[in-house]
Chain A
Amino acid sequence: MIVHINGDQRELSSQLQTVFDLVNDYNLSEKNVIVELNGRIIEASKHRDTPIQEGDRVELVQFVGGG
């Protein structure tokens, strides 16, 4: 399945079905990432129930501590 992540086109493995799977695949946690799916923020508590579909536009913003 082809989706756009942070502006880049990516081919996702068929095992990745939800926002939760995607966040995990990027080695991120719902605790330190904000996810926007097709222009809407997906709350951390809904990551598991929100499917990723062909053509979706996903933005992932990770919070990092360094400075």
Chain B
Amino acid sequence: MQERYSRQVLFDSIGEKGQEKLGQKHVCIIGAGALGTGNAEILARAGVGRLTIVDRDYVEESNLQRQQLYTEKDAKARMPKAIAAKDRLNQVNSSVTIHAEIQDVTVEEMERLAQGVDLIIDATDNFDIRFIINDVAQKFNIPWIYGGCVSSYGLSFTVIPGETPCLNCLLQTVPLGGATCDTIGVIAPVVQMVVSYQTAEALKILVEDWSSLRKKLVSFDLWDNEHVSIGVERMKNSDCPSCGDHPTYPYLSYEQQTKTAVLCGRDAVQIRPPKKMARDLDALERILESQNGEVNRNPFLVSFANGDHRMVFFKDGRVLIHGVNDISEAKSLYHKIVG
């Protein structure tokens, strides 16, 4: 027995056998914000064989209050979160293979990412992507674990294809609007609580202790001291287009995703070109340098600050525009620079 996992192996429900299983498993974590970094650190320390971490964003100062893998250095350098997370996780447990991907997860990407994966952890900040994860998980028969939090409130649910209801059974439609960490903030303890629920379920799934899964939808408010756990088995719908008897996977069959999105946690809009592209950052840097503003560059992105706005251009074509909440205003700023 490896000394580093000794306490976990002593825990009866994992044991030597469970530890061996963990080392053979591959988990895909979508999002490397608060929930993503928390999940990734626990799973890496637990000795999960492979982790894939996907995120579209880069580290900012306002992340450091709750996104546990990042440092001031990462924020100063505006390191892409996937890369900063990978660097830190390699120091935490060098025996875990970490795949880091800097990108926005589309239907196409999600279908690719799901291949050969034993579990998908939802650490995203929006329901557009969660409904895609939900359909991909059903299509390829992969468990996934929903987590969400805002303010002092959080919740989690584990979706096991063929067993539990899916997100589409529970919600039927993508909820729009609602409170975000942009509008009402979030505290770190609630992040940790959601992460604890997610990773406990993840460990059960990875060691194949299926009968110990929670099965209930759980929610809590750590400030108002509320805790709710409800059985939703009966919400499993045999007519559900995602998990029913005749699934059509509605969120995969056509591009439901918005090409622009207001980002949770900041005053910013993301614009994504319809087709994936490789942006020539050198050429862009030269163009921006001729403009009236401040240009910063690292190997992954170029940022351009002008008045109240800051635009960050990624290699894959995406642009983040800070200082705006209005999509059309963001688009016009974008088109002013890139035509």
A residues bordering B, Cβ < 8 Å?
Answer: 6-8, 29, 31-32, 34, 36, 41, 44, 59-67
Contacts and interface: CB of A to CB of B under 8 A. Distances in A.
Interface centre among A8, A64, A66 (most CB of B within 10 A): A66
Interface string B139-151: 0000000011110
Contact of A29 (B150, B175, B217): B175
A67 B219 contact: no
Contacts of A65: 125-127, 148, 150, 175, 178, 180, 264
Query: Which 10 residue pairs of A and B lie closest in terms of their CB atoms, listed nearest first?
Result: A32-B175, A66-B150, A67-B35, A66-B181, A64-B148, A6-B226, A64-B150, A61-B219, A36-B230, A59-B228
Q: Is the interface of B mostly helix, strand, loop or mixed?
A: mixed
A64 B234 contact: no
Q: How large is the interface on B (under 10, 10 to 19, 20 to 34, 35 or more residues)?
A: 35 or more
Nearest to B124: A67
A35 B178 CA distance: 17
Interface of B: 31, 33-36, 122-127, 147-150, 153-155, 170-173, 175-176, 178-181, 186, 194, 217, 219, 221, 226-228, 230, 232, 234-235, 264-265
5 contacts: A62-B153, A65-B126, A65-B178, A67-B124, A67-B149
Contacts of B186: 66
Nearest to B175: A32
